Structure 1
Amino acid sequence: MSKLKFAACEWCFPCWGDLAVKMAHEAGFDGMQLGDAGGSMNAYPLRDPGVQAYYLEAGEKYHIEFPQIHLYTLGHQGYYRSRLDSLEGKDCLESIRQAVIAASEMKVPSVIIDGMRMNNPAKRQHVLDVACYAVQVGEEYGIQIGMETDMTLEDHFRFLDALDGKLKLCFDLHNPVMYGTGYPPDMVRALGKGRMDHFHIKESQPNEDGFVTVETPIVLMGQGGTFFRESAQAVKDIGFEGWIVSENFYFRPNILSEGYDYISAARKDVETLRAVYGDAV
């Protein structure tokens, strides 16, 4: 029997909240990775008891678990790369703290931070400082901190070792291909299951030169050029147990133009994920 569960990111769907939870359920997912509902831009909605109840009631109604809160808005604000004594840097740390407290209140086990574009030593040290703060707050409230990154394999080891294994990975199997930092299956096998909080999965179609970039179209699972099946085998090989999280965008025009709607596109991905990963353990 498989010990894997399959979730969708809240932002896979065009509407967040109850409707996204309902769509995830109708597509056949087991869970949903929550965004931060606007984070600091909306006065940290996930700290509001009424908003918490809204999500938790939706999860119970549709039999959807919430395994992670991802600091989606903070990632798009770019404040991870702001000096910690700046207003933006202070906003970054406060966003992390509020998300961790919200996770503890909602019984969500993990909070996911950003570790992207660390392309020089100063930037790596800065993001390490942010991660150290997140881990410290996470330990205080009993919440695991995960990080999504675009680092090379060698930098993964250096960064994780610096935090004594307290930080785990939201390992996006698409990122090494898009950022040119490695071959995902080899990276998964080298890092091993103990460093993984969960996996993000999305697919892109390579351009005419064979490259996956931020501009190349997102496609359904197994239809792209990001080593989807090879990466799935690597996840099986390390004996991973936990969450496989789709980060495909089911409202993209190129997907809808194939005759899908939001739910049928997501359902197709769930069928593919269960077929490829379902016999993992």
Structure 2
Amino acid sequence: MIRFGVCQWIMDCSGVEALPRAAELGFEGIQLGIAEENRAIHEPALQKAYLRASQETGVAIVGFGINSMNVLPLFSPPDSDEGRRCHDLMRSALDTALAMGVGLVYCPGFFDAEIRTDEQLQRAAAMLRRGCELIEGQPVLLATENTLDAARNLRLLELVDHPSLRVLIDSYNPVLYGHQAAALLRDLPARYQSKQMHAKDGRNQVMGNVPLGQGEGRFEDFVQALKDLVFAGWLRSETDYRRNADELAAADLATMNALIASDQAP
């Protein structure tokens, strides 16, 4: 079964208030963002507030995105200040996920953190390996979301060589880097794919600036590839809901339901 969630950082509110707002918009789950400059989520009191809001609203907290890793790359030299900060942020996020019963932490690799060279790939693999070793045998997975094609993602997975690593695939981001999300789904073995995907579209190479199915991301092809894989997990909307959230969320949920939910057993 495919369930629909939303990413906290593209909503028209923040903090704990994002959970009742997600429920109001019609989403079942939420992915929370973690930033180096705001470590409040690591405090037990705020964790309890999030968990209480989740219980009260029925909105599941399904993952953490360490958004600061777009400026603190995984491939930072391990003995550098950036490398130590990157590892510390990943460790804190994983500890928080374990404390809150959240099953996925993912590390984005865009902008300054885009992996371009083989040396960067090897350094990123080493950092991801260290993260995976922190959660060995624990009920949480670590994922990478990046700009790589299927072949280079496989190379990254081989270098990390750990069963706790997954690849999170977005329905639009690959287009910006010369790939198609549907092709990534087909070419990357399903055992390496996260059971949480990002759903968004875009126009003129801008992420999330149009509703699903109305941009250049070929969202219908992405959904068909998920169906072909008999995907069971979360699709989390990353459309920009900071304005006109009610209208846009309703349109996105209608599109996702039309493409997916009609095929699912009740």
TM-score, normalised to structure 2, is 0.91
Which of 55, 61, 73 is the equivalent residue of 1:60? 55
The answer to whether the aligner puts 1:177 opposite 2:175 as a matched pair is yes
Q: What is the DSSP-based 3-state SS (H/G/I as helix, E as strand, rest coil) of the residue aligned with 1:199?
A: strand
User: 1:116-155 to 2 correspondence within 5 Å?
Assistant: 116=110, 117-139=114-136, 141-155=138-152
Which deviates the most, 136-145 or 88-97?
A: 136-145
Q: Tell me the residue number matched to 2:105.
A: 111
The answer to whether the aligner puts 1:264 opposite 2:247 as a matched pair is yes
The answer to whether the aligner puts 1:100 opposite 2:94 as a matched pair is yes
Q: What's the offset of the Cα at 1:84?
A: 1.5
The answer to whether the aligner puts 1:242 opposite 2:198 as a matched pair is no
User: 1:1-281 to 2 correspondence within 5 Å?
Assistant: 3-36=1-34, 38=35, 40-42=36-38, 44-72=39-67, 74-116=68-110, 117-139=114-136, 141-164=138-161, 166=163, 167-180=165-178, 182-197=179-194, 198-205=196-203, 207=204, 213=205, 215=206, 218-251=209-242, 256=243, 261-281=244-264
Q: What is the DSSP-based 3-state SS (H/G/I as helix, E as strand, rest coil) of the residue aligned with 2:33?
A: coil
What amino acid is aligned across from residue 130 of structure 1 in structure 2? M
Q: What's the offset of the Cα at 1:157?
A: 1.5
Q: What's the offset of the Cα at 1:128?
A: 0.8
CA–CA distance in structure 2, aligned partners of residues 70 and 280 of structure 1:
29
Q: What's the offset of the Cα at 1:176?
A: 1.6
Q: Is the 8 A contact 2:173 2:207 kept in 1?
A: no
Q: What's the offset of the Cα at 1:165?
A: 5.5
Q: Is the 8 A contact 2:11 2:18 kept in 1?
A: yes
Distance change >3 Å, CA 217–CA 140, structure 1 → 2 = closer
Q: What is the DSSP-based 3-state SS (H/G/I as helix, E as strand, rest coil) of the residue aligned with 2:157?
A: helix
Distance change >3 Å, CA 216–CA 193, structure 1 → 2 = closer
- The C-alpha deviation readout for 1:206-232, integer Å capped at 9, x for no partner, is x3xxxxx2x477111111111100110
Q: Is the 8 A contact 2:197 2:235 kept in 1?
A: yes
CA–CA distance in structure 1, aligned partners of residues 41 and 98 of structure 2:
11
CA–CA distance in structure 2, aligned partners of residues 48 and 191 of structure 1:
37
Q: What is the DSSP-based 3-state SS (H/G/I as helix, E as strand, rest coil) of the residue aligned with 1:95?
A: helix
CA–CA distance in structure 2, aligned partners of residues 97 and 179 of structure 1:
29
Q: Is the 8 A contact 2:8 2:30 kept in 1?
A: yes
Q: Is the 8 A contact 1:193 1:239 kept in 2?
A: no
- The C-alpha deviation readout for 1:50-70, integer Å capped at 9, x for no partner, is 110111111111110011111
CA–CA distance in structure 2, aligned partners of residues 78 and 220 of structure 1:
30
Count of aligned positions? 259
Structure 1: segments with no counterpart, 5+ residues = 208-212
